[in-house]
């Protein structure tokens, strides 16, 4: 990492004892910094105006020191909530985190006067469930940690506080359950987070890309979620969770590909229904990557595969279209993606208008104008809908991208191309690792105990073990008899 | 550093080459659905001596090929017809006329007229079997009457002949009494020892087509047929029937009843070789049939509510079915066509070398086959 001379000078000075002069020098030109002097007792306080809350200032600064004499002030400062700081670095960090630095004679203290900011806990927009808890994570890490602590009332829930970003100093908290998570993995994760050298981190979904083992893969490798119940279950499964300050997403690791197809909902339904939903999602996964490509392959090369009656309708519908199926399909898929992207960028109210306009244009006019065949509309719409069945937005976006590759291969080589494409996807999936664990667990390495909690959602008496991917030293989770 | 850069360049070039190869293959092999005309029916006739512009002797050994291609509107078909030596040659001629490339992949039936099928049909089926795009379930049909007229007609039932034949045969087969006669079964029975292939016979009537019996073959030559009224008995002798209907019209003299209908019956066949014969001794086989069904139509002197009289009726049906089956067997023996596969059982009962020496069609013609029928009437309707 390249450091400028002044930064080095800062670094050597950080171990010095803190003083008002040095602090003011350090925060030179920060006009939102407030310096308050209490003349009656000689106390000087420095803090960032907008990080501090009025009530906190009143409680911790104004009331104790406004009319105090120096002896009183000193005795107050040696009691909580004030804590002494010995180095300049600590002091600066405290001020940046919204604390007030208090100076009396040659000693310095910090008092937490930060006001709580950010939105209240509310329902997650991207991951909704019908049955089950409705709270979602927020941007504030303390809130998120508290939500998890409230769910796991155990001293075994350990936290490792780290900070990432040379400038942003973003708080990153690793959570794990002692005795359930594998300590080697915790070490490895800690080292990996500490090795990040970047100026700033803004979101967990960005953060995970910094610690990916396969940064060029199209697939997301760390499972991020906005749901506390999902993180709780991951922690109990022996995985490591990680909160990144400023992000409502919390990620967990090690992750397998199939984790992205599970929703907390599955565990709140009866197991048969949960199983049906899991299978529906896997079907949705196959449809979303293959369906349009399959249409292109059979209309371009494999007319024998189409049932006779359907072939006549299809031919009639296709005969008005001037483009070959490949171009036709790419056009429609691009249109759908445009529509989806527009809907995601626009405010909800205008978004609905887009939906209606898109529905009419794509649904009817395109076919009547001889732009596409109506069966392609069905294929494209079905694969778009199927892509939204996948609970993880990030995964669903990746799969939509893969679809384009498969369509092109199918348009060039037919079913052979489609199969080649699927083989490439599988090769790619098999090559990915996450914290050293195979991405395709429990398919490869095969594991029956994991499979009954992956492709089906087995009844709870059957889900006796924690997932093997976590390499937990304490693998049994259900001790009940049937 | 240089070698790494060169390695990168060559990797890039290899990728580009792979991409180009990918892009360029396949294009020539495209069959975009609206740019092809797919044959639904192929009709083959022996070429008439006076047909065609060529001199008369040119036509001997030639066939008249008729194909029907459905248009996008379901009720329309294009029918082409020409005289040529093989199907492929004919399709080349049709390709010159048609605006779309003619392909075989949606073929549903191949129809032979009786004159050509008497000469042997294997070489035409062989052409189709070699084509990977032709499915195994293409129906093999023998048509009585004018094939050209039949294929170019529109029928009230389901429009063009091709679709009608397809639906008709599939429905009939589901009833269980017409054996499936498609490319696969024909090939299987043709190549197998101890069984001859069979096929459905269709005939034009005033406003429809009718299944007019079962064609019997020697090797691939059509030699004779089983009449439509008797095809149910042929079905029983051939294998199991799952849900057949049978009308029994008892001849007066030996029977108490006039007529009855056995509905939704199922039958199972057991064939036992009693003696493989040899020398002057004819082979002896026993076929046991077991029929269970519902009696829904009855005219006659028996009281169905009485168990004893019902058993008497069962006996009558057994006797009647046995007579009919024996008649069917007699027809087959006369034609020397073992379409029900008695020979397979005989073959299994003797050493293969002995079987190879045997002239099975002749042995079949003189073999003594007993038929034993067991009928059980499950119920006789809701009216007491």
Question: In percent, how much of chain B has pLDDT > 90?
Answer: 29
pLDDT at site A297: 93
Contact by Cβ (8 Å): B106, B39 = yes
Contacts of A325 in chain B (CB under 8 A): 32
pLDDT at site B284: 92
Indicate if A312 and A237 belong to the same structural domain. Answer: no
Chain B residues with a Cβ under 8 Å from any Cβ in chain A: 22-23, 25-27, 29-34, 36, 38, 40, 70, 72-74, 103, 105-106, 108, 133, 135, 163, 166
- Please say if the pLDDT value at position A12 is more than 70: no
- Whether residue A453 lies inside any domain: the answer is no
pLDDT at site A14: 67
Indicate if A163 and A56 belong to the same structural domain. Answer: no
Contacts of B33 in chain A (CB under 8 A): 299, 303, 306, 311, 314-315, 318
Query: For A237-270, what is each residue's pLDDT tens digit?
Result: 999 999 999 999 999 999 999 999 999 889 999 9
Ordered DSSP codes for A446-466 = T-HHHHTTTTS---TTT--B-
Interface confidence: ipTM more than 0.90 = no
Give B11's pLDDT tier (boundaries 50, 70, 90).
confident
Neighbours of B128 (CB within 10 A): 20
Q: How far apart are CA B181 and CA B175, in angstroms?
A: 14
Indicate if A401 and A322 belong to the same structural domain. Answer: yes
Indicate if A202 and A73 belong to the same structural domain. Answer: no
Contact across the interface for B74 and A312, Cβ inside 8 Å: yes
Q: How far apart are CA A104 and CA A82, in angstroms?
A: 12
Residue that wins the pLDDT comparison between B30 and A165: A165
Query: Of the candidates B23, B36, B108, which has its C-beta nearest A303's C-beta?
Result: B36
Indicate if A102 and A145 belong to the same structural domain. Answer: no
- CA distances to A11, A152, A228 from A161, rounded to whole Å, are 21, 18, 19
Give B23's pLDDT tier (boundaries 50, 70, 90).
low
pLDDT at site A280: 93
- CA distances to A85, A267, A463, B221 from A263, rounded to whole Å, are 46, 8, 16, 65
Residue pairs between chains A and B whose CB atoms are closer than 8 Å:
62
For B179, which DSSP code?
Answer: P
Best residue in A376, A412, A417, A419 for a mutation probing chain B (most B CBs within 10 Å) = A412
pLDDT at site B333: 92
Residue closest to B113 by CA, chosen among B141, B83, B77, B149: B141
Query: Of the candidates B29, B103, B106, which has its C-beta nearest A308's C-beta?
Result: B106
Structure tokens at B371: 């038929």
Mean pLDDT throughout A311-329?
88
Mean pLDDT throughout A4-33?
70
| Average pLDDT, rounded, for chain B | 85
Architecture of domain B239-384: 2-Layer Sandwich (3.30)
| Average pLDDT, rounded, for chain A | 87
- Whether residue A165 lies inside any domain: the answer is yes
For A62, which DSSP code?
Answer: I
C-alpha distance from B286 to closest chain A C-alpha (Å): 43
pLDDT at site A235: 94
- Please say if the pLDDT value at position B322 is more than 70: yes
pLDDT at site A233: 93
Residue closest to A73 by CA, chosen among A35, A28, A103: A103
Expressed as residue numbers, the domain containing A367 is 270-437
Query: Of the candidates A301, A308, A319, which has its C-beta nearest B34's C-beta?
Result: A319
Q: How far apart are CA A210 and CA A282, in angstroms?
A: 29
Contacts of A375 in chain B (CB under 8 A): none
Contacts of B37 in chain A (CB under 8 A): none
Q: Is the pTM of this model over 0.90?
A: no
Indicate if A282 and A248 belong to the same structural domain. Answer: no
Mean pLDDT throughout A314-337?
89
Report the chain A residue with the minimal C-alpha distance to residue B37.
A315
Ordered DSSP codes for B97-151 = H-SSEEE-TT--EEEEEHHHHHH--HHHHHHHHH-TTS-TTPEEEEEES-HHHHH
pLDDT at site A67: 80
pLDDT at site B2: 54
Ordered DSSP codes for A289-320 = HHHHHHHHHHHHT-GGGS-HHHHHHHHHHHHT
Residue closest to B319 by CA, chosen among B384, B248, B377, B380: B248
Query: For B204-254, what is each residue's pLDDT tens digit?
Result: 888 888 888 999 999 889 999 999 888 889 988 988 888 888 888 887 777
Nearest 5°: the CA angle B336, B341, B344 is 110
pLDDT at site A160: 93
Contact by Cβ (8 Å): A373, A274 = no
- Please say if the pLDDT value at position A146 is more than 70: yes
- Whether residue A99 lies inside any domain: the answer is yes
Mean pLDDT throughout B319-329?
92
For B214, which DSSP code?
Answer: E
Give A426's pLDDT tier (boundaries 50, 70, 90).
very high
- Whether residue A122 lies inside any domain: the answer is no
Indicate if A423 and A324 belong to the same structural domain. Answer: yes
Q: How far apart are CA A290 and CA B46, in angstroms?
A: 48
- Please say if the pLDDT value at position B170 is more than 90: no
C-alpha distance from B150 to closest chain A C-alpha (Å): 21
Chain A residues with a Cβ under 8 Å from any Cβ in chain B: 299-304, 306, 308-309, 311-312, 314-316, 318-319, 321, 324-325, 409, 412-414, 417
Token pair 């602090």 is found at A23
Best residue in B33, B39, B136, B166 for a mutation probing chain A (most A CBs within 10 Å) = B33
Contacts of A312 in chain B (CB under 8 A): 70, 72, 74
pLDDT at site A6: 46
Choose the most confident range, by mean pLDDT, from A59-63, A290-294, B227-231: A290-294
- Please say if the pLDDT value at position B378 is more than 60: yes
- Please say if the pLDDT value at position B26 is more than 70: no
- Whether residue A260 lies inside any domain: the answer is no
pLDDT at site B100: 87
Indicate if A100 and A181 belong to the same structural domain. Answer: no
- Whether residue A310 lies inside any domain: the answer is yes
- Whether residue A321 lies inside any domain: the answer is yes
pLDDT at site B215: 93
pLDDT at site B150: 87
Q: Which of A139-148, A180-189, A290-299, B272-281 shows the lowest per-residue confidence on average (mean pLDDT)? A: B272-281
- Whether residue A475 lies inside any domain: the answer is no
Q: How far apart are CA A45 and CA A37, in angstroms?
A: 6
Q: Which of A19-28, A118-127, B168-177, B227-236 shows the lowest per-residue confidence on average (mean pLDDT)? A: B168-177
Indicate if A241 and A329 belong to the same structural domain. Answer: no
- Please say if the pLDDT value at position A7 is more than 50: no
Residue that wins the pLDDT comparison between B183 and A369: B183
- Please say if the pLDDT value at position B88 is more than 50: yes
pLDDT at site B206: 83
pLDDT at site A1: 40
Indicate if A229 and A277 belong to the same structural domain. Answer: no
Question: In percent, how much of chain A has pLDDT > 90?
Answer: 41
Contact by Cβ (8 Å): A297, A377 = no
- Please say if the pLDDT value at position A464 is more than 70: yes
Q: How far apart are CA B243 and CA B236, in angstroms?
A: 11
pLDDT at site A112: 85
Indicate if A280 and A390 belong to the same structural domain. Answer: yes
Mean pLDDT throughout B39-59?
70
Query: For B303-321, what is each residue's pLDDT tens digit?
Result: 888 888 888 888 888 988 9
Contact across the interface for A413 and B38, Cβ inside 8 Å: no
pLDDT at site A2: 42
Give A181's pLDDT tier (boundaries 50, 70, 90).
very high
Every domain range in chain B assigned CATH 3.30.300.210: 239-384
Indicate if A239 and A108 belong to the same structural domain. Answer: no
- Element holding B311 (H helix, E strand): helix B307-335
Contacts of B26 in chain A (CB under 8 A): 301, 412-414, 417
- Element holding B372 (H helix, E strand): strand B368-379
Q: Which of A184-193, A373-382, B22-31 shows the lowest per-residue confidence on average (mean pLDDT)? A: B22-31
What's the structural domain count of chain A? 3
């Amino acid at each position: 990492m390249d450091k400028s001379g002044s930064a080095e000078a800062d670094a050597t000075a950080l171990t010095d004892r803190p003083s008002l002069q040095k602090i003011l020098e350090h925060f030179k030109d920060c006009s939102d910094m407030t310096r308050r002097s209490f003349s009656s007792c000689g106390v000087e306080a420095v803090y960032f105006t907008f990080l501090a809350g009025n009530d906190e200032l009143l409680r911790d600064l104004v009331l104790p020191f406004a009319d105090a004499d120096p002896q009183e002030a000193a005795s107050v400062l040696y009691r909580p909530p004030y804590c002494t700081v010995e180095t300049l670095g600590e002091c600066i960090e405290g001020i940046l985190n919204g604390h007030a630095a208090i100076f009396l004679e040659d000693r310095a203290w910090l008092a937490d006067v930060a006001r709580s900011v950010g939105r209240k806990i509310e329902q997650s927009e991207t991951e909704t469930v019908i049955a089950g808890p409705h709270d979602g994570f927020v941007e504030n890490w303390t809130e998120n940690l508290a939500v998890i602590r409230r769910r796991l009332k155990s001293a075994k829930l350990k936290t490792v506080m780290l900070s990432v970003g040379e400038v942003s100093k973003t708080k990153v908290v690793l959570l794990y359950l002692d005795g359930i998570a594998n300590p080697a993995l915790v070490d490895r994760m800690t080292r990996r987070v500490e090795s990040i050298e970047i100026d700033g981190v803004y979101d967990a979904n960005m953060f995970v890309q910094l610690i990916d083992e396969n940064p060029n893969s199209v697939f997301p490798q760390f499972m991020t979620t906005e749901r506390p119940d999902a993180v709780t279950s991951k922690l109990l499964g022996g995985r490591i969770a990680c909160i990144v300050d400023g992000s409502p997403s919390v990620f967990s690791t090690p992750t397998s590909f199939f984790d992205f197809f599970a929703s907390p909902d599955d565990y709140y339904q009866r197991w048969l229904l949960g199983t049906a939903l899991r299978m529906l999602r896997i079907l949705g996964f196959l449809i979303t990557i293959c369906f349009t490509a399959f249409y292109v392959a059979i209309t371009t090369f494999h007319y024998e595969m189409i049932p006779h009656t359907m072939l006549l309708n299809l031919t009639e519908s296709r005969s008005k279209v001037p483009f070959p199926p490949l171009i036709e399909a790419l056009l429609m898929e691009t249109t759908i993606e445009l529509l989806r992207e527009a809907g995601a960028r626009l405010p909800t109210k205008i978004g609905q208008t887009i939906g209606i306009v898109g529905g009419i244009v794509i649904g009817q006019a395109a076919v009547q104008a001889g732009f596409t065949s109506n069966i392609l509309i069905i294929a494209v719409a079905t694969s778009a809908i199927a892509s939204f069945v996948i609970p993880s937005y990030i995964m669903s976006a990746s799969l939509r991208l893969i679809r384009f590759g498969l369509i092109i291969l199918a348009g060039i080589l037919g079913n052979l191309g489609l199969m080649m494409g699927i083989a490439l996807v599988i090769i790619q999936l098999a090559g990915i690792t996450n914290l050293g664990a195979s991405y395709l667990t429990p398919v490869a390495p095969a594991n029956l105990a994991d499979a009954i909690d992956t492709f089906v959602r087995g009844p709870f008496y059957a889900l006796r073990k924690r997932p093997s991917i976590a390499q937990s030293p304490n693998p049994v989770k259900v001790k009940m008899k049937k | 550093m240089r070698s790494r850069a060169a390695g990168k360049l060559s990797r890039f070039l290899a990728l580009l080459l792979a991409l180009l190869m990918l892009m360029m293959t396949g294009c020539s092999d495209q069959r975009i659905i609206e740019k092809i005309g797919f044959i639904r029916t192929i009709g083959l006739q022996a070429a008439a001596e006076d047909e065609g512009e060529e001199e008369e002797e040119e036509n001997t050994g030639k066939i008249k090929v008729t194909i029907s291609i459905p248009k996008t509107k379901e009720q329309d078909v294009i029918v082409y017809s020409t005289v040529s030596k093989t199907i492929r040659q004919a399709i080349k001629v049709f390709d010159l006329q048609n605006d779309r490339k003619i392909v075989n992949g949606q073929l549903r039936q191949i129809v032979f007229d009786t004159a050509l099928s008497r000469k042997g049909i294997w070489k035409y089926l062989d052409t189709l079997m070699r084509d990977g795009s032709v499915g195994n379930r293409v129906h093999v049909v023998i048509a009585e009457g004018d094939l050209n007229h039949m294929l170019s007609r529109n029928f009230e039932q389901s429009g063009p002949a091709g679709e009608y034949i397809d639906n008709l045969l599939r429905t009939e087969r589901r009833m269980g009494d017409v054996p499936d006669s498609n490319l696969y079964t024909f090939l299987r029975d043709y190549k197998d020892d101890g069984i001859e292939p069979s096929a459905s016979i269709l005939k034009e009537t005033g406003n429809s087509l009718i299944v007019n019996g079962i064609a019997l073959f020697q090797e691939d030559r059509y030699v004779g047929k089983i009449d439509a009224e008797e095809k149910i008995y042929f079905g029983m002798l051939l294998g199991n029937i799952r849900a057949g209907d049978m009308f029994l019209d008892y001849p007066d003299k030996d029977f108490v009843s006039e007529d009855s209908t056995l509905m939704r019956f199922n039958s199972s066949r057991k064939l036992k070789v009693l003696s493989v014969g040899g020398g002057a001794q004819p082979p002896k086989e026993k076929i046991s049939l077991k029929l269970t069904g519902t009696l829904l139509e009855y005219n006659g002197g028996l009281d169905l509510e009485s168990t004893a009289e019902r058993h008497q009726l069962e006996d009558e049906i057994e006797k009647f079915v046995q007579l009919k089956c024996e008649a069917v067997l007699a027809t087959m023996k006369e034609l020397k066509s073992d379409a029900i596969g008695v020979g397979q059982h005989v073959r299994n009962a003797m050493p293969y070398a002995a079987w190879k020496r045997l002239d099975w069609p002749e042995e079949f013609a003189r073999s003594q086959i007993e038929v034993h029928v067991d009928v059980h009437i499950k119920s006789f309707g809701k009216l007491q």
